[in-house]
Each structure stands twice: as C-alpha cells, then as structure tokens.
Amino acid sequence: MTVTIEHLIDGRWVPGTGDALFSVNPAQPSLIVAQGSNARTSDVDAAVRAAGAAAASWAAAPMHQRGTMLLSAADIVDRNAEAWGLELAREEGKTKAEGIGEVRRAAQILRYYGNEGDRQAGQIFSSPRAGEQILVTRKPLGVVGVITPFNFPIAIPAWKIAPALIYGNTVVWKPASTVPLLAIRLAQALTEAGLPEGVLNLLIGGSDVGNAIVDHPGIDAVTFTGSTGVGRRIAAAAAARGIPAQAEMGGKNAAVVLDDADIELALEQVMLGAFRSTGQKCTATSRLIVTDGIADEFLAELAERAAALAVGDPTDDATQMGPVINDAAHQSISSGIEAATTQGAAVLTGGQPYADEVRAGGYFIAPTIVELNGAPADVWTDELFGPVLAVRRAADAEAAFDMANDSEFGLSAAIFTQDLTRALQAVEQIDVGVLHVNSESAGADPHVPFGGAKKSGLGPKEQGGAAREFFTHTTTVYLRGGQAGA
Ligand code: UN1
C-alpha cells in the first residue's frame, strides 16, 4: 500500500528527479507510507512558468466559476475523509479520529471559500465631489508561493490554497517533505474538480525547493506556516524582492486557570490543548498558569490524567496520543525536557523515554508536565512543538495575566473562569491573536481571522475576510459618468 510520490507541474503528474524520498510512519519508522523522489530546484522554474501562464485566464474567470471547482473539490475530500484520515494518521502520527476530522475540516474550508462569490466583493464610498462614487475593488496578486508545515498536512494547505485560488491567484505549493501523501491527495481533489492546468502546481521537496520558490522572479507573493526562524528568513527574502509575505509562526500559548474556574472543564480542555496532535500545533497549550488556591488539587489531577493517556499506534481506536513527526523532533523535544530539569523544573509526569518495544521503536514522547520554581527556564520561552506543558503558579488573576504575556509570542491563549469580569479583563490584558474563554487554546474556524499578535506572525492574518487582505490588492476607483456636466 505504499503510494508513489509524484509532483504536479502544469497539469501533469511527474516523478521527481531529486534525492530519494521516503515518507515513513512515525509510530513505526520501518513502515513506508509513500516513496519516490524529491523535486529539484530546477523544477521550480517550470512550475512557476506554468502558474504564470495560467494566471490571466484564471483571474478573468468569474469568481463563482472558480468557486464551483472548490465546492466540488470539497465533495471529493469529504467522500475520502475516512481513507485519507487514516493515511494522515499513518503519515503524520495524529490519531485516526483527528486525521479524519482534519480531512473533513479541509473540505469545510474549501466549501467556505467556494461560496465566496456569494459574498460582498469590495466597498463603495461616497465622494466629496458631485457626480462621483468611489469604489474599492479587489484584484489577485498573481502567482502565490505556498509553503506549508507537517502538522496539519491537508487543513493548512486548504486554508492557504483555497483563498489563493478563489481570489484569482495561481499557486506553486511546497508542502513539508514529511507529509507528501496528504499533499498529493489535496492536489488530486482539486485537479479532479476541474482546475485548469497550471493553476495549482505541487513540488514536494526540501528547503532548497522552498527557497527557490521564494527567490523566483515569477512569484508575486509568499504565504508560509512553520517555524519562527524559517518564517523570518522567508519574509526577509520576500521583502528584499519587494513582494508581500504572510508568515504564521511560533506560539507559546498559555492556559490560565483561575480559582473560580470549573475545574472539571478546565482539566478536560487543558488536556486537549496540551496533548491533542501530540502538542504539535502552533496553537497548542504549552504553558499553564494556575492560581494558588486551586494549584495543588489541579496539578495533581492533571498529572494523573496525562500519565493515564493511551499513547501508541495512532491508527488504533483506543489511542489518545500518537508519536511526534520524526527523529529530529524527537531529539529536540527530549533535549528540551532534559534542559528543563537541569534548569530546576520539577517533573510532575512524563519526562522519560518509553522502554517498551513498540513505543521505543517509534518517535514517541510521554505526555510531560514540568513545574517551574520561579527561576528562568527555556521551557517557558522556547516552542518545543511537542507534548510538553510548562507550569507556573500565580498569586492572583493579575499576576496570572502578566505571566501569560511573558512571551515574545502572542498566538493564542485560554482563560478558565466563571467570573465575567475576570474574563473581560483577560480580553483586555492578554495580548494574543486568538483568545479562548473556557475552551482549549487550539482551534480555528474558516470564517474568522486566525493569526498571532507580537512575534507569532508577519503580514495579514489568515482565514475569513482576513485572507482577502493578503491574497488580493485593492484598486480605488474614482467613478464619474463620461459626459461633461452630467
Ligand atoms: C488549530 O488550532 O486547530 O500550525 C489550527 C498550526 C496553526 C493551525 C492551528 N497554523 O498549528
């Protein structure tokens, strides 16, 4: 059942000519999910030229016509949700239920943008001059480079590619090379839905291919989700070329649990935020701040639940948490945990490698909770992108909000309280792009803006109406009749 990796250039599926590429199951790395060869930087030119050649007629098509294709791609994705969700679990390592959920979410995103033709397309303003109206219309940017991460191998590509396409852009897409199979599935759905040749090009490869896309003179804009370091380099390269960039990067998202919270709800939601998708979400809860009145009770129960999580093969129905993506992630998360203990953090649960044969053979990390003693620790500041939760206690709500803001990042946060006044204070004081009141820090709906404050993101936000800000530019039209004096 190994799938062959191919690339989509100008409407044709072609094998790669670069290094061999094996997409392996992170739960059992000897199992190959897909195999083939990487694209090479020399393929980038063909892909960009194809996207450039397709751009004018794609942009000229009515938005409703483009939307029809996205809607039918959504149906194809939905029809395949079970099968592709299982493939996603095998390739990425999140549980099968999450995999299927993510595939359905990709369909929902395609459907949301597929209906964009039915929504307001621009604005109209009054003019200070008689006989004139001022319109603000939208135009596509041209060829968009799309660079996507491993952790949502179909949903994040959908939420970048669907708006890019609906607003009339064409795309050259490079997914993370750890998840080629799900990239191929999305591209298949879009081509089967009738996308013209060259409108979407898929090149699977390493960072050399990504860099070549960003640097290609035929690329008019770049959208990226991934690590902070890479995002900043891409944004800098784009700025040097004078093209817009959108970079969605790190998070060190706090859950704040106040004394008056519904403890059961907070426990359940913090568990989901910290450990779903093995903590590999930019919106995952990686910091927990608990006020003193409930801290002992809350942390004891949380540690117990984390220790009881069923960690194992993500395709097994009973599994609640799978492995991390690869050996490099396994190593860097493990060293992050080790550094935390060296820096004085107390391990409340986890922190040890698995000794049993099944899990020792895969990239598994135990759900880990460490409590900091007040001293500075890297685990409080650095994004580990794994199932690791760093805890601090706070004397009261004010101190807790200050701690939540104690990060260079500001992607998301969660606050647990039943006191409306406290919740409203959190809205005012916690500096994040996404705030959850009494729900976990992860999650995003297609029709509302998604993105971070502070150093979590660069450029316009994603999703909903915000996506239009990035994927189009405006033309302000001063409109008068053509007759003198009329
Ligand atoms: C979510 O919280 O469900 O890479 C989505 C990420 C984010 C998407 C999070 N860009 O994790």
Does 248 qualify as catalytic in the annotation?
yes
pLDDT at 1: 72
156: CA distance to ligand 1 center in Å?
Answer: 7
User: Rounded to whole angstroms, how far apart are CA atoms 213 and 41?
Assistant: 8
| Lowest mean pLDDT segment, chosen from 141-145, 409-413, 479-483 | 479-483
Q: How far is CA 473 from CA 136, 375, 476, in A?
A: 10, 48, 10
Strand 412-416 versus strand 253-257 pairing type: parallel
Question: How big is the chain by its Cα radius of gyration, in Å?
Answer: 23
Q: Which residues contact 261 (CB under 8 A, 6 or more apart)?
A: 294, 416, 417, 418, 438
Phi-psi region at 235: left, alpha or beta (left = phi > 0; alpha = psi -120 to 50): alpha
pLDDT for 373 equals 86
The ligand 1 site (C-beta within 6 Å) comprises: 149, 151-152, 156, 225, 248, 281-283, 442-444
Q: Which residue among 148, 282, 383, 441 is best mutated to probe the pocket of ligand 1, counting the most ligand atoms within 8 A of its Cβ?
A: 282
Q: Is the separation of the CB atoms in 363 and 329 below 8 Å? A: yes
Minimum CA distance residue for ligand 1 atom 10: 282
Shortest-distance atom of ligand 1 to CA 149: 4
Dist. CA 205 → ligand 1 center (Å): 22
In contact, 177 and 149? CB cutoff 8 Å = no
Give the distance (Å) from ligand 1 centre to CA of residue 152: 7
Question: Tell me, what's the pLDDT at 225?
Answer: 98
| Ligand 1 centroid – CA 343 distance (Å) | 29
pLDDT band at 483 (very low <50, low <70, confident <90, very high): confident
Mean pLDDT over residues 155-172, rounded?
98
Atom of ligand 1 nearest to the CA of 441: 2
Q: Which two tokens stand for residue 275?
A: 């450990």
- pLDDT for 401-446, tens place per residue? 999 999 999 999 999 999 999 999 999 999 999 999 999 999 999 9
**Total Cβ atoms within 10 A of residue 155:** 24
Q: Under a CB-based contact definition with an 8 Å cutoff, are residues 153 and 63 in contact?
A: no
Q: Which of 395, 437, 400, 430 is nearest to 416 (CA)?
A: 437
The pLDDT of residue 486: 57
Q: What is the mean pLDDT of residues 229-250?
A: 97
Report the first-to-last Cα separation within the chain, whole angstroms: 71
CA-CA distance, 382 to 385, in Å (whole number)? 9
Residues 328 and 297 sit within 8 Å (Cβ to Cβ): no
Which residues have CB under 8 Å from 327's CB, separation 6+? 29, 363
Average pLDDT of the segment spanning 139-157:
98
Residues linked to residue 389 through DSSP beta bridges, in sequence order: 369
* Cα–Cα dist 458/2, whole Å: 38
Show the tokens assigned to 161: 């590619």
Could you tell which of 283, 285, 450, 462 is best to mutate to test the pocket of ligand 1, judged by most ligand atoms within 8 Å of the CB? 283
Q: Whose CA is nearest to atom 4 of ligand 1?
A: 282
Q: What is the DSSP letter of 2?
A: P
Percent of all residues in the chain with a pLDDT value above 90, rounded to a whole number: 97
pLDDT at res. 484: 81
Q: Can you tell me whether residue 39 is helix, strand or coil? A: coil
pLDDT for res 375: 84
Active-site residue (options: 91, 92, 102, 248): 248
Which of helix, strand or coil describes residue 169? coil
Read off the pLDDT of residues 299-328 as tens digits, 9 standing for 90 and up: 999 999 999 999 999 999 999 999 999 999
Confidence of residue 374 (pLDDT cuts 50, 70, 90): confident
What global pTM score does this model have?
A: 0.97
Residue 289 confidence (pLDDT): 98
Best of 94, 98, 148, 151 for a ligand 1 pocket test (most atoms within 8 Å of beta carbon)? 151
E-assigned strands of 330-429?
Answer: 346-349, 368-371, 388-394, 409-410, 412-416
Read off the pLDDT of residues 264-277 as tens digits, 9 standing for 90 and up: 999 999 999 999 99
- Comparing C-alpha atoms, which of 385, 373, 388 is closest to residue 328? 385
Average pLDDT of the chain, as a whole number: 97
Q: Which pLDDT belongs to residue 485? A: 66
As a whole number of angstroms, the distance between CA 400 and CA 289 comes to 6
Instruction: Compute, in angstroms, the gap from residue 412 CA to the centroid of ligand 1.
Output: 10
